Structure 1
Amino acid sequence: MERALEVLVRARESIKPAYPTPEHLRNFKLSLMDQINFPVYVSTIFLYKADGNVKADQISQRLKSSLSKTLTKFYPLAGRVKDDFSIECNDEGAEYVEAFANGFLFEYLQKPDQNLLRDFHPFNYAESPVASNGGPMMRIQATFFKCGGLAITVCTCHKLIDGVSLGIFVNSWTTTARAGNKEVVPRFVASTIFPASESFVPLPLHISPVQANRFVFDTKKIDRLRAEVSSASVPRPSRVEALTALIWKCARAASRSNLGYSRPSLSAYAINVRAVAEPPLPDNSVGNSVAYLMAQASEKEIETLQDLVCSLRKAKAEFRRNGLKTLLENKSIFDIPESIKDKFEKDEIDFYTFSSIVNFPYYEAADFGWGKPVHLTFPNYLVSNLIMLMDTNDGKGIEVLVTLSPEDMAFFERDQELLAFATTNPSVLGYTNTSKL
């Protein structure tokens, strides 16, 4: 977009649960995995085309009313972080902001720019990324465009909510908004399986200048990539494995070009451990239930894509054997190999974190009654070397959001091996009906 998109906040209020939280639920116990995560806000933005049958005031009222009812079930999200062990479920509520943008939705969708989304947040993300000092666990902004289009930004505190938990919440909220028949009820049982500990090891959080870009892979290109990375060891790599290997290799190449030399590399891949916990957690379990498997690459090796896929498969196999048990014994959700732990602590390695919500029905879950989103995204303005994979809105391709240092990104986005398979930040309008944008 050539001109700035101005956003004007019209109203700001606190949405409390429709019914008071019972006294016996007022002190919510965090799990070990909750403890490990920093209380930073993680944001998700859902973009909707206009519904000519519903006005902005009606939409906002439906959002607030259904949010209040949903918070009754998700009562910790209406509370405040008390300490490293608990949330005070005091019903202070979630923050809700109503705002208006001076532009049209299609202007953003023509060439999505994450920097333009900063004003779609209910707070200054750069200045206040942490839900501390009594801040809300959940902060939401509904931004209405001149065309009637809508952006709903959901910011949740990572101290309690992981990607699956967010999907459960959104599904429950939208079902309530649509007055659906199938009620979505959360289960808060993670602390019984992963009890809190005095000696937990927090995730490393290094806030630094970052640059994000979006890369889209269509089905044909993904199939071609999978064929190229297949080997005798991994004859049928998954779509996510193939893309993870490609992004990892190109990110390492960008770091090497920027620094002028190679460094050892570690790739952390987030996995949902609900099904592998002992006993397994229910599918509707809300709370952090993610651990990280680690794949390693030496600075002395020039890995092929096949090598990196094999490294990922090996890490998965090792984790399945005893990884979760070992991590929990160490009060951590990631395990840095001893061979490079010293370099890791001195920040002398290239460390990348991958997260995937491919095949998770976010688009289907986010229908409040005026249709599925035409686009959704997960802005990241804080942490470099973070890669998120998700489905395109037509379900036929995969979008990858890559956040690197500005210096590394300058090399990464020009990598010819990457561009042989990816399209850099294409218009969403190519697979979206534009009549109401």
Structure 2
Amino acid sequence: MKMEIRSETTFLVKPQTPEWKGYLPLSEWDQTSNITHVPIIYFFKPSRDLDGLIESLTDSLSRVLVPFYPMAGRLRWAEGSRLLLECNSAGVEFTVAKSNCGLDQLGDCTPCPEYKWLVPEVDNSRPIWDLPLLLVKVVVFKCGGFTLSYSMSHAIVDGLSAGHFVSEWARMARGEPLKIPPYFDRDVLASPAGRNGLHSLYLKGPMVAEFVPPPLLLGQTDSVEEQKNETTLFMLKLTKSQVDRLKNKANQLPPTNGCPYTRYECVAGHMWRCVTKARKHEPDQLTTLLVSVDFRNKMRPPVRPGYFGNAVLDVSAKSYSGDLVSKPLGYAASRIRMVIDKVTSEYVWSMAEYFRQQPDWSLFQDLHPPGSDDGPFYGNPNFGVVSWLTLSMQGQDFGWGKDVFMAPGNHEFDGDTAILEAPDGSGTIIASIGMQVRHVDDFRKYFYEDIL
């Protein structure tokens, strides 16, 4: 049966009490890279009567928006494609809908075409000053289950901050007090010299290399032809024993710094090798793996809990495809370890200073909405693996029991992937993978065969 959405109603939810109004500075990390809305979806199976569900969700949302007041604001453009955050209590867009089918008709809740009906639609034709930073959608199914999804502006939060907001919202919906208050002081990311107006002390030329365009397929002068290929989104799972096997394989050659490779380094390295094989690269094809590094604990001193904003830096591991597929898994993990280790306080400050010196930040901003034909291209011969392994996204309970599944909304860019833990606590890792359809079967084959 085809899914139908009916009785759809949209309204604004504003902070319960007036909060500070004015312009909140945004950091260089808020204003560069992906600054579009990112969709997330939660699935909840029937646990008790849904009476009062919407009232509870909207009431708790209005209360959590008091300490998290920037989420109810709006962005503004400034000179040089800089963004300003106006805290004006304009509100969060909230949509309620009903579906004619049951959750069981979505199978195991993994990505499917029906997702587009379940996540809030972000109208990017609206001027930025009119576009909510957070859009929420609740769809109630005839079985009594429901989905709660949101699209949140990446210009305001990264994954850790998004998880912080949702966790506190769920706590308030359960009648519990705020656990970790947010704070918005961007100076905690500034260098000591920067705080004293001596920014140029941290301008280091070699950091500019991070903005060299990623390599293209051999024989091609652009990525237009690759972008024309059909893509899809699918999920694969690795059990804890499979992950342990990958870790053992990767650590057969001791890492240079003596610390065993992490789950992320091993799984991301494994996926990088598999996609390189599936794409049948020439040995001398250069390929990069995009790695997003949360630098909160890499700063000196570390950023204390509750910082609400972006504190993630993208770095690129590089290798020739021939080396990647012919050498042991530890080689791929070592390439990833190398770029993660170079992210230090000094590196972050230097990159911030590099941005600060640029007259136009539009060169570093991705404004394309998820799913658009002209969106970002991480694909062949490149790949990206974002870790959600340490985010507090899953296991949210808004008073109707914990979610049974959580996933990114549909994003079908070739090579744009995320890994997250299964919600059952078994140690299973779920990989959400965007890829060209023609490479999926080979990737799936290598994904499991290469573990043996």
Give the superposed CA RMSD: 3.4
- Is the deviation greater in 143-152 or in 291-300? 291-300
- Does residue 378 (structure 1) correspond to residue 427 (structure 2)? The answer is no
Task: Give the aligned partner of residue 268 of structure 2.
Answer: 244
SS in 1 for 2:234: strand
**Count of matched residue pairs:** 399
Q: Which amino acid counterpart does residue 283 of structure 1 have in structure 2?
A: P
Task: Give the aligned partner of residue 139 of structure 1.
Answer: 135
Per the normalisation by structure 1, the TM-score is 0.82
SS in 2 for 1:72: coil
Question: By how many angstroms is 1:79 displaced?
Answer: 1.2
1:255 corresponds, among 265, 279, 282, to: 279
Question: By how many angstroms is 1:363 displaced?
Answer: 2.5
Distance in 2 of aligned mates of 1:215 and 1:262: 29
Task: Give the aligned partner of residue 79 of structure 1.
Answer: 73
Task: Give the aligned partner of residue 270 of structure 1.
Answer: 292
- Does residue 112 (structure 1) correspond to residue 110 (structure 2)? The answer is yes
Distance in 2 of aligned mates of 1:78 and 1:13: 13
- Does residue 32 (structure 1) correspond to residue 28 (structure 2)? The answer is yes
Task: Give the aligned partner of residue 419 of structure 2.
Answer: 389
Q: Which amino acid counterpart does residue 313 of structure 1 have in structure 2?
A: R
Over 4 Å off, 4+ runs? 194-197, 199-209, 346-349, 419-422
Distance in 2 of aligned mates of 1:238 and 1:192: 27
Contact residue 315 and residue 339 of structure 2 kept, 8 A: yes
Task: Give the aligned partner of residue 298 of structure 1.
Answer: 320
Distance in 1 of aligned mates of 2:69 and 2:212: 26
Contact residue 44 and residue 154 of structure 1 kept, 8 A: yes
1:357 corresponds, among 384, 388, 397, to: 388
SS in 2 for 1:107: helix
Question: By how many angstroms is 1:304 displaced?
Answer: 2.9
Residues 294-333 of structure 1: matches in 2 within 5 Å? 294-301=316-323, 302-320=326-344, 322-331=346-355
- Does residue 281 (structure 1) correspond to residue 303 (structure 2)? The answer is yes
Question: By how many angstroms is 1:262 displaced?
Answer: 5.8
Structure 2: runs of 5 or more not aligned: 215-222, 365-376
- Does residue 215 (structure 1) correspond to residue 215 (structure 2)? The answer is no
| Residues 329 and 289 (structure 1), Cα distance of their counterparts in 2 relative to 1, 3 Å cut | same
Contact residue 38 and residue 203 of structure 1 kept, 8 A: no
Residues 106-255 of structure 1: matches in 2 within 5 Å? 106-110=104-108, 112-123=110-121, 128=124, 132=128, 134-191=130-187, 193-194=189-190, 210-234=231-255, 236-255=260-279
Q: Deviations over 1:328-357 (max 9, x none)?
A: 232299xx9xxxxxxxxx999722222112
Distance in 1 of aligned mates of 2:163 and 2:188: 22
Residues 37-116 of structure 1: matches in 2 within 5 Å? 37-52=33-48, 54-55=49-50, 57-83=51-77, 84-110=82-108, 112-116=110-114
Question: By how many angstroms is 1:373 displaced?
Answer: 0.6
Query: What is the percent sequence identity of the aligned residues?
Result: 21
Q: Which amino acid counterpart does residue 46 of structure 1 have in structure 2?
A: Y
Contact residue 39 and residue 132 of structure 1 kept, 8 A: no
Structure 1: runs of 5 or more not aligned: 337-345, 423-437
